[in-house]
Amino acid sequence: MDKMKDLALLVGRVLLALMFVIAGWGKIGGYAGTQGYMEAMGVPGFILPLVILLELGGGLAIMLGLFTRSLSVLMAGFTLMAAFIFHYQPADQMQMLMFMKNVSVAGGFLALAAAGAGAFSLDGRLGKNW
């Protein structure tokens, strides 16, 4: 049963972090457009490098199971902030769907923070419970 749990945590980590890795990579290629969109939504464009670092670097670290608990809490907070800043538009059904997706993803990150990375992770190999 523990192997199934560890396999589920591995697959869950990868699936949860995949969209952040893809989004972070995409922001590099579309830097100016992303920066302009952020500024139009009231977010200072100069923080875009930090956003890319968190999405791409944090996403890859979650996939690998490195600093999983700490990063999962950070990613949950980031995802909730993004939900409220960019998607909370009650009159727009599609934006509210995106809002609820972000809320759900934040819940997944909090569950991962509680469960830890599992045995199939760098945290597990290092014997750390970050």
pLDDT in tens, 94-130: 999 999 999 999 999 999 999 999 999 999 999 887 7
pTM: 0.93
**How far is Cα 31 from Cα 84, in angstroms, rounded to an integer?**
22
**How far is Cα 35 from Cα 62, in angstroms, rounded to an integer?**
25
Q: What pLDDT does residue 40 have?
A: 97
Q: What is the mean pLDDT of residues 29-44?
A: 97
Q: What pLDDT does residue 129 have?
A: 77
**How far is Cα 16 from Cα 60, in angstroms, rounded to an integer?**
11
Q: What is the pLDDT of residues 71-104, one digit of tens each?
A: 999 999 999 999 999 999 999 999 999 999 999 9
Q: What is the mean pLDDT of residues 33-37?
A: 97
C-alpha 64, offset from chain centre:
13
Task: Decide if pLDDT at 10 tops 90.
Answer: yes
